[in-house]
Amino acid sequence: MAIYKEDDLSLLCVRELKVQISFITLSEKRDIISVQKWQALFYRRDGGHMEFIRINGKDEEAIRDLSAMATEIVREHYDPILGKEQNDYMLEKFQSPDALKKQTASGYVYYTARVSGKNVGFFAFYPRGDAMYLSKLYIYKSERGKGYSKQMIAFVSDAALKSGLPRIELNVNRTTPSTAIYEALGFVRLRSEKTDIGSGYFMDDYVYGLDLEKKKEKAAR
């Protein structure tokens, strides 16, 4: 089981967000705060230190726990949007233990995100073409609004660049409030996409992209 802390992330994580609070005003002077002080301010503001634990697809217990967490979060979030019947179908198709084992075997990388030893959410990604495809990113309802998604996206951004991939892409349901969150994180809507997932059900999504090279250029200014 691989465990990563936010301090393991490359300088990209710092540069992406530093631009938002890179100056403070003291006695009418604008002083650049140090990276160390900035990191302390950012992580305190965003709910504490986060650990990222990679899931071993051959670890039966870890897979069962991940499936249970996914079921709880996704059911709460998507039952009101999709209806319980379609959501149950999608949970079985994409988040059951067997589905998760097949995904990890085919190249999906799953992580759980923890704060103070407690799981707050999970995410999954894999290379697809010239982009890192963010397949899933979910956070418990009680943990939303604390800035955790920003830290998770920074981790995926770092993984993408280390893999030589200049972009992140993802799909998100067109009617979910999550679209506004991704846009606030810098994602741009690329297109609409309707996917037949069988049994008469469709995923009606927007496709979003995040250009990491542009983010690096902006952060370096």
Distances (CA, A) of 86 to 5, 93, 165, 215: 36, 10, 33, 37
Q: What is the pLDDT of residue 26?
A: 31
Distance of CA 172 to the CA centre of its chain: 12
Taking all residues of the chain, what is their mean pLDDT, rounded to a whole number?
83
| Amino acid residing at 40 | A
Domains and their CATH numbers in the chain: 3-220 (3.40.630.30)
* pLDDT tens-digit map of 129-162: 999 999 999 999 999 999 999 999 999 999 999 9
Please list, residue by residue across 7-46, b when 16 or more beta carbons sit within 10 angstroms of its beta carbon and e when fewer do. eebeebbbbbbbeeeeeeeeeeeeeeeeeeebbeebbeeb
Nearest CA-CA partner of 138 in 102, 107, 178: 178
For 70-86, write each residue's pLDDT tens digit: 999 999 999 999 999 99
* Count of CB atoms situated within 10 Å of the CB of 90: 18
SS3 of 140, please? coil
Q: What is the pLDDT of residue 34?
A: 33
pLDDT range class, residue 6, cuts 50, 70, 90: very low
pLDDT digits 0-9 by tens, 52-68: 999 999 999 999 999 99
pLDDT in tens, 170-190: 999 999 999 999 999 999 999
Per-residue pLDDT, 164: 97
Higher pLDDT, 40 or 46: 46
Farthest-apart Cα atoms in the chain, separation: 65
pLDDT of residue 30: 31
